[in-house]
């Protein structure tokens, strides 16, 4: 059995709902919400929401590839949000809510790009999801971690 751990990093709107969607999947061994894809070092939630940091609210997933594949995670990513909305998800508007896959190697980039081709016909509008190399991931403040679980909320606007 392969006990190797890998990372997957997704931005699909408000990170609370994205984390809640993925955190209990078999094979997902850890999650943390944070900020990535921007230019500001050590950003705060307030800076990401109200300043031009360029960061997206994102979820970093640690997973065991012998239990769940990266391709399966990417498939769930496309099913759990609307990847055709540019810089928004539902009521949340701004580039911090963009749809993005931050890839950790060339294999992940190939899988993500192939998924865009595969899932594209399922939507009425073109997919606008960015596929970009993962950069530094800044963990969000503690109160954001497992936010919906802590509050007993079932989800936010994320599709189920």
Amino acid 106: pLDDT: 98
Q: Does residue 87 lie in a domain region?
A: yes
Task: For the chain, give the longest Cα–Cα distance.
Answer: 46
- Answer yes or no: is 160 within a domain: no
What residues are labeled active site?
14
What residue numbers bound the domain in which 70 lies?
Answer: 6-151
Reported as a single tens digit per residue, the pLDDT across 114-123 is 999 999 999 9
Classify residue 1: in a domain, yes or no: no
Query: pLDDT for 25-54, tens place per residue?
Result: 999 999 999 999 999 999 999 999 998 999
Is there a domain that residue 159 lies in? no
- Considering its fold, how many domains does the chain have in total? 1
Residue 89 resides in a domain = yes
Reported as a pLDDT band with limits 50, 70 and 90, residue 3 is low
| Residue 66 · residue 1 · CB < 8 Å | yes
Residue 158 falls inside a structural domain: no
Q: What angle do CA 96, 157, 24 make, to 5 degrees?
A: 95
Above 50 in pLDDT, residue 160?
no
Alpha-carbon gap, residue 154 to 148, rounded angstroms: 7
What is the CATH classification number for the domain harbouring 82? 3.30.1060.10
């Amino acid at each position: 059995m392969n006990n190797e751990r890998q990372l997957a990093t997704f931005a699909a709107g408000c990170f609370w709902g994205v984390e809640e969607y993925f955190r209990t999947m078999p094979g997902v061994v850890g999650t943390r919400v944070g900020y990535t894809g921007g230019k500001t070092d050590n950003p705060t939630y307030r800076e990401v929401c109200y300043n031009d940091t360029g960061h997206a609210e994102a979820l970093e997933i640690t997973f065991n590839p012998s239990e769940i594949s990266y391709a399966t995670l990417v498939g769930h990513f496309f099913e759990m949000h609307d990847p055709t909305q540019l810089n928004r998800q539902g009521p949340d508007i701004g580039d911090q809510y963009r749809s993005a896959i931050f890839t950790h190697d060339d294999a992940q980039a190939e899988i993500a790009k192939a998924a865009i081709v595969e899932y594209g016909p399922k939507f009425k509008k073109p997919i606008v999801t960015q596929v970009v190399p993962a950069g530094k991931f800044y963990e969000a403040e503690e109160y954001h971690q497992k936010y919906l679980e802590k509050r007993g909320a079932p989800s936010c606007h994320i599709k189920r």
